[in-house]
Amino acid sequence: MAYASTLSLRELRQDLHAHPESGWKEFRTTALIAAALDDREFTLHLGSDAVAEDERLGVPDDDAVAAAIERAREEGAPEAYLERMGGITGLVAEKTFGDGPTVGVRVDMDALERTESSDEAHRPAKLGFASTHPNEMHACGHDGHTAIGLGIARDIDDDGGFDGTLRLFFQPAEEGGRGGKPMSETDLLADIDYFLALHLGLGNPTGTVIAAYENPLSNAKLDATFEGAPSHAGNAPNEGRNALHAATAAVQNLYGIPRHADGATRINVGKFESPNPQNIIAEEARLRVEVRGRTAELNDYMLEKARRVLDHAAGMHDVSVETGLYGKTSTFTADDEMVEAVLASAADLDDVTETVPRLDIGGSEDASYLIRRVQDHGGKATYVGIGASNEFGHHTSRFDIDEDALDVGVDVVCQTIRTL
């Protein structure tokens, strides 16, 4: 029996929490879940069968991927599934229980690149399941999402009550908006009748269910590298071409992009690097820029303007600039039929204390691409919020979840699937 098959949902969540894997490095997580679902005779789609390889965004370099595979192997990932992945994370698992509708469920698997708190008051540290990986941490609840995904498979497989096909999407690289689009480009979304994505927490206590988080801001993340020429800042400053100066000009003007009358737009420079001593004209500078828009069109407006600013800042200072899209998301609105199904299902559960029909999610979410793909083919979709009490906010070093929410998440989704 596969290792993950022997664990309760809480045990699985804590195991994944102790072994976090950031985007496109989720080899152990993918392999463990694949093995557990293989035990239950689910059909598995791994690697390039689960995501469109050429559509991936923000992929780590080959050395980083190789190191992640080796670490997964050392930490007990079953070799057979590592081989089937072919260096690409992501899993879609399906099983047919009858002639009814095809229902898809998407959960994300990746961790954040940040260091977890070692404070003894932090529950994972106190109980011994804090991250064992430097600069990687499950600070957003994706470990819980993955556990819920397996829990849904177990519940439907064991207890029945669903006459259709269940298709589970274990998505890599949600952070940064890198994995949703490539997963949406496969044919596995084309025939889905009903689709649910989900998220734990987001400021809501355990027992609260939001039938539809919707209208996220469209988002794009852009990496820019300025390349100039070095020279001695004292002896020959005129011989250099200052990449740092170009980058600072870009930052100032990026924040000056006019807002748009048609709706909300955002821009932020989240990272600025120029590794250079003080007496050398800087030959390289790097930026990571993020834009957002209430609609995909507004997001594209901001992205176009940002690229123009970067190009002209480089030209002003006689340096070159290369840009690359690190991640991108879109937006969506949930379908009424799905909202009503989730509300009706949640109302029948003892552990649900409050239901909310719809809320704007506020941030960005790359499940948007999967949801829109389903809707474009005539399917119905929603993005469900599962309250999970958490004293500290998402993406903080002391993030944790109330693990009672895992069972709530499984019950809400499975009840909805059976209703559909």
Residues 10 and 103 in one domain: yes
Q: Answer yes or no: are the C-beta atoms of 327 and 366 closer than 8 Å.
A: yes
From edge to edge, which strands make up the β-sheet containing 218-227?
265-273, 284-293, 218-227, 320-329
Angle at alpha carbon of residue 357, lines to 353 and 362, rounded to 5°: 105
Contact 393, 201 (CB under 8 A): no
Mean pLDDT over 183-212 rounds to 97
Q: Binding site annotation covers 17?
A: no
Indicate left, alpha or beta for 73 from its phi (over 0: left) and psi (-120 to 50: alpha). alpha
Q: Which three-class secondary structure state does DSSP give residue 357?
A: coil
CA dist., res. 163 & res. 187, Å (int): 22
For 165, which DSSP code?
A: E
From CA 366, how far away is CA 377, in angstroms rounded?
Answer: 18
Q: Report d(CA 246, CA 206) in Å as an integer.
A: 49
Q: Are residues 320 and 369 in the same domain?
A: no
User: What one-character-per-residue DSSP string does 79-90 give?
Assistant: HHHHHHHTT---
The answer to whether 133 touches 19, Cβ cutoff 8 Å, is yes
Q: At 1, is the pLDDT very low, low, confident or very high (cuts 50, 70, 90)?
A: confident
When pLDDT is cut at 50, 70 and 90, the band that residue 228 belongs to is very high
Residue recorded with tokens 């809707």: 375
The pLDDT tens digits for 73-127 are: 999 999 999 999 999 999 999 999 999 999 999 999 999 999 999 999 999 999 9
Last residue of a domain, which of 328, 345, 374? 328
- State the pairing for strand pair 380-386/194-200: parallel
Count of structural domains within the chain: 2
Which domain does 308 fall in, by range? 218-328
- For residues 57 and 177, state if they share a domain: yes
Nearest alpha carbon to residue 149 among 103, 186, 110, 108: 108
**Torsion 376-385-265-270 (CA) sign:** negative
Mean pLDDT of 136-153: 98
From 266, 295, 328, give the residue that closes a domain.
328
Instruction: Fill in the amino acid letter for 265.
Output: T
- 179 and 322, same structural domain? no
Measure the CA dihedral 22/144/17/157, to 10°: -100
C-beta separation of 359 from 353 below 8 A: no
Other CB atoms within 10 A of residue 71 CB: 16
Same structural domain, 322 and 336? no
pLDDT for the residue numbered 356: 97
For residues 184 and 258, state if they share a domain.
Answer: no
Q: 268 with 360, same domain?
A: no
Q: What is the pTM of this model?
A: 0.94
So what's the pLDDT on residue 270? Answer: 93
Calpha distance 31→36 (Å, rounded): 9
CATH number at residue 194: 3.40.630.10
Which pLDDT belongs to residue 210?
Answer: 98
Band of pLDDT at residue 265, cut at 50, 70 and 90: very high
- What CATH number does the domain containing 269 carry? 3.30.70.360
Does the annotation list 142 as a binding residue?
A: yes
Percentage above 90 pLDDT, the chain: 97
Over residues 7-52, the pLDDT tens digits come to 999 999 999 999 999 999 999 999 999 999 999 999 999 999 999 9
Domain shared by 143 and 15, yes or no: yes
Kindly tell me the sign of the dihedral angle through the C-alpha atoms of 83, 86, 87, 89: negative
Residues 86 and 173 occupy one common structural domain: yes
pLDDT at residue 398 above 90? yes
| Same-domain check for residues 160 and 295 | no
Torsion of CA 72, 186, 196, 361, to 10 degrees: 80
Q: Which residues pair with 280 in a beta bridge?
A: 232
Q: Would the annotation count 414 as a binding residue?
A: no
Same domain, 249 and 377: no
Task: Judge whether 291 and 326 are in contact, CB under 8 Å.
Answer: no
Decide which of 328, 358, 389 is a domain's last residue: 328
pLDDT of residue 125: 96
d(CA 327, CA 290): 9
| Residues 281 and 207 grouped into a single domain | no
Whole-number pLDDT of residue 363? 84
